[in-house]
Structure formats: C-alpha cells, structure tokens
Amino acid sequence: MVKVLYIAGWGRSGTTIVDNILNSYESVFSTGELYYLWRRGLRQRRKCGCGDRFAACALWREILDVAYGKRQPDPKAVDELQQRISRVRHTPSLASGPLSDEAEEYRRLLTRLYHAIGEVTGARLIVDSSKVPSGAALLPRMRDVEPYLLHMVRDPRAVTHSWMRATPQLDRPEPQLMQQHRPADSTVHWLVWNAFAERLARSYPNRYRLLRYEDFAAAPREGIERLLEFTGVDVRNSPFLDDTTVLLEPNHTVSGNPSRFRTGEVALRPDERWRADQPIGPRIAVTALALPMLHRYGYKVSVAA
C-alpha cells in the first residue's frame, strides 16, 4: 500500500513551494508534476529537480526499471494517450463509471509507477503536485493506493498577475520563457480547475483538504504540519528553522515552477506584488469574471489594492 497526496488547483497557486517543503521531510518524497514525466521529462529531455537531465537521473532510472522492467512504455505513446484521455472535461467519467480500455491502460501504468516510487524511495508519503484534475480523478481508483487530495487556491488576481509575468524556464536545454496566460484565459481556467477539484472531493471522503495560498503564506510551518498530520505522517525532524524559514533539501521533481531548483535556507514571505503592480484593467476583468467564487473562497470583491 502506498500513500499518495495529490495536489490539485490552477497554476501559480503555491503548489511548487508546498511540494518542495513537504519533500524536505525525511519520510516524504515529492515527484513534482508527475503528469509531465513522459512529455517534459522523457520526450523533451528536461531537467530533474536534482539538476541532471531527467533520463540521466539515477533515481528515476531505478524507479522506471522497478515499475516496468524490460517493457518500458514508449514516452511518445503515453504522452499521446494522456492527451486523449485526460482532458479536463473527461474528469467526471474518470472519477466514476466504467473506464475505457485506454483509461484502464493509463490507470495500470500510473499505479505501477506510484508503487515503484514507494518501493525505491521508501517514503511513507508520496506527493504528486501534477494539479491536473484527471490525475486526481483516477487516483482513488488505483489498487493498493491510499489517496489524499490537497486543493490549493489563490486569489485569482494574484494568479493572473503571475501568469502575465515573463518567467524564464530553467529546465530546458535552450533558455525559454514559461507559458503566459491572459487575464480572461487564466481566470476561466481558475474557475474550471477549482470547480473540478471541489467536485473530486467526493471521491476522497475525509481525505480532502482546501488550502488557500494566502493562509499557507501567512503561517507556512503551521500549514505544512497540519497537512502532514492530516496524512498521518510524522512531523518531527522538521526542515523548518522557525515559523517562516525552511531548509529545502535537494529534490527529484519531474516538473514544476522554476523555484523547484531552490535548495538551502529559504525565508518564506507572502508574494503580494500584484497588489501594487497590477494595472486596473486586468484587475477589474478578473474580479468580474471570478465574482461568485471570490466569495466562496473568502476573497475581497473590491478592486482596490
């Protein structure tokens, strides 16, 4: 039996830092965004969190050997299979009801991968910060997997501001910028991905938690310790030096925000840059579009900073 905590939510909601902090506990192993192992890790030959090219990382080689032995799946075929079955609109049918042959194949492939990660790392808890709703839908249907769902949400105006900033990618052979999203596009995704994450809570009876980025950022140590207690993992040997400073261990994350390469002592401060820097136009657009859900998650409707 392996215990897996899946982190769901729309990008730029703080999932990478939570993932990296959890990984710094001895009994936890974070995969980063495991969903992208096939495309970014194996096909695009991007870097593992340890700095090696993914295919050259000894730990992942061992995990893939234990999972699939001599019958390694073709990364291109798995990438294409993911594209077909894991569209956001397919999430409800992956969560319940009969699975198609392809979805069944994907479920088996992922189940073996999680088991191999547990076996090779010896971790008591595996954290997968893929965020993609379909991954959270399949997890409770995997054999010998104890699934937990962490749903992270952040003020959509802050999220949009982050998506509009040009952020360099650090894991590609050639420097490139991360994908950017315009305000309406980011906010529609924010609405849809959060709605699906909430809906999936039903598949995780007593194993679903909602965490707002703002609450985590205000009291990081407390937020992380509550999460670990929720998953039944020992919070001793903490990487926290005080309530807001953490010692980040090296990691083997497949993919995620470029901040995943940060290690060592990190002072955690709430990122509130959007309040001073965001132009009024995008702020009004996002506020109007997200209005009903702003209330739901306890965010102020006012557009003033």
Which residues lie near Zn ion (CB under 5 A)? 48, 50, 57, 252
Closest approach, Cβ 250 to Zn ion, in A, equals: 8
- Comparing CB distances to Zn ion, the nearer of 50 and 195 is 50
Distance between alpha carbon 69 and the CA centroid of its chain, in Å? 27
CA atoms within 13 A on the CB side of 103: 21
Closest approach, Cβ 47 to Zn ion, in A, equals: 8
Closest approach, Cβ 141 to Zn ion, in A, equals: 29
Q: Residue type at 207?
A: R
- Comparing CB distances to Zn ion, the nearer of 64 and 136 is 64
- Comparing CB distances to Zn ion, the nearer of 59 and 235 is 59
Closest approach, Cβ 231 to Zn ion, in A, equals: 23
- Comparing CB distances to Zn ion, the nearer of 106 and 261 is 261
Beta bridge partners of 149: 6, 208
- Comparing CB distances to Zn ion, the nearer of 53 and 275 is 53
CA–CA separation, 31 vs 16, rounded Å? 11
Q: What is the DSSP letter of 53?
A: B
3-state helix, strand, coil in the chain (%, to 5): 50, 15, 35
- Comparing CB distances to Zn ion, the nearer of 238 and 259 is 259
CA–CA separation, 183 vs 59, rounded Å? 39
CA–CA separation, 152 vs 11, rounded Å? 9
- 245-248 and 240-242 strand pairing: antiparallel
Beta bridge partners of 210: 151
171 close to 54: Cβ distance less than 8 angstroms: no
Closest approach, Cβ 251 to Zn ion, in A, equals: 8
Distance between alpha carbon 175 and the CA centroid of its chain, in Å? 23
- Comparing CB distances to Zn ion, the nearer of 203 and 253 is 253
Closest approach, Cβ 120 to Zn ion, in A, equals: 12
Closest approach, Cβ 48 to Zn ion, in A, equals: 3
- Comparing CB distances to Zn ion, the nearer of 50 and 188 is 50
* Residue 94, SS3 per DSSP: helix
Closest approach, Cβ 286 to Zn ion, in A, equals: 37
Strand order of the sheet with strand 240-242?
240-242, 245-248, 264-267
* Residue 61, SS3 per DSSP: helix
Dihedral sign, Cα of residue 284, residue 155, residue 36, residue 198:
negative
CA–CA separation, 64 vs 78, rounded Å? 14
